[in-house]
Amino acid sequence: MTRHLFIDLEDTIITPVMDGWFNTHLVNVQKIKDIIAQFKPDHVHVFSFAIWNEAELTRFNLGTRPMIEAALKIKFGAVPTVDGDIIPACCKVMGMSTDVVDFQEMSNFWGKHEAFRLNMRNQFKNNKNDVQVMLLDDAVFNEEFTWPDLKVKGSIVNIDGVQSDLLPLLKDFEYLEDVQREPTGELYFRHDTGDSTVKENETIAFFIEEELNKIGFTLIERYIEHDTITGYIVKC
């Protein structure tokens, strides 16, 4: 089975694009990382009403896409535009002309939830193999669906209802006072080692990681200096 994960942008993975694509900030990073770890998608795509046309797509690719891909450690596949891809796909399934449907009408008639379902029916209309799709969005209701005729199973998940609080799971970690939850949901670790050498701190970091492994976590992106060890804690 091939798995496709579709991620909305505004209020799902980034703040609203009010001041341009270069001035957005990440949100819900740890939640989405957890879902990626559980769902194990073969492909990750964007499905957002914020990318209206090719001009907005270019700005997204230059201003925001690299930041998201680096944070999630993925590469996006499809990044459809509203005018060029999403509306035409909806209209094909509904047997309507794109000339009579604009963005506002699509938002009123179908919204993100139904627009995603229509796009999936169009995308996999000639599907021959089992496929599983998932949409993460902040403006949908939770739903699971199965289309036997298309060999498609799907789920639509409201990101606001996803719980991702790993901090309580670290209650037995000896260095808990050095762990802080970032605004993105990630767990940032800092340990002050005083006047140790870098080599001594490498040994300390190895010991800390061993202790984390015992309770199902690990230390990544770690940075070792002569007086501190920093990094991010993630679930193994």
Closest CA to 29 of 46, 11, 47, 13: 13
Q: Please check whether residues 88 and 192 belong to one and the same domain.
A: no
* CATH number, position 115: 3.40.50
Query: What is the pLDDT at residue 176?
Result: 73
Same domain, 97 and 207: no
| Number of domains making up the chain | 2
175: nearest Cα among 183, 184, 164, 167: 167
* pTM (2 d.p.): 0.73
Q: Indicate whether 116 and 201 sit together in one domain.
A: no
Helix (H, G, I), strand (E, B) or coil at 22: helix
* Token reading at 213: 């492994």
Tokens of 221: 């992106």
20 and 127 within one domain: yes
Give the integer Cα–Cα distance in Å for 43 and 58.
21
- If asked whether residues 113 and 227 sit together in one domain, one would say no
Q: Are residues 70 and 152 in the same domain?
A: yes
Domain end marker among 119, 135, 161: 161
Residue span of the structural domain in which 149 resides: 2-161
State the Cα angle at 30 between 25 and 32, rounded to 5°: 90
DSSP 95-164: T--GGG--HHHHHHHTHHHHHHHHHHHHHTTT--S-EEEEEEESSS--EEEEEGGGTEEEEEEEGGG---
The residue among 97, 128, 161 that closes a domain is: 161
Residue 66 shares a structural domain with residue 157:
yes
Domain identity same for 172 and 60: no
Full pLDDT tens readout for the chain, 236 residues? 999 999 999 999 999 999 899 999 999 998 899 899 889 999 999 999 999 999 999 999 998 999 999 999 999 999 999 999 999 999 999 888 878 777 777 777 788 999 999 999 999 999 999 999 999 999 999 999 999 999 999 999 999 877 666 777 777 787 777 888 776 667 888 988 888 888 899 999 899 888 888 888 888 788 998 889 998 887 76
Question: Same structural domain for residues 143 and 189?
Answer: no
Smallest Cα–Cα separation from 158: which of 25, 45, 32, 20? Answer: 32
Identify whether residues 227 and 173 lie together within a single domain.
yes
Do 122 and 32 belong to one domain? Answer: yes
Out of 107, 135, 161, a domain closes at 161
Same-domain status, 100 and 171: no
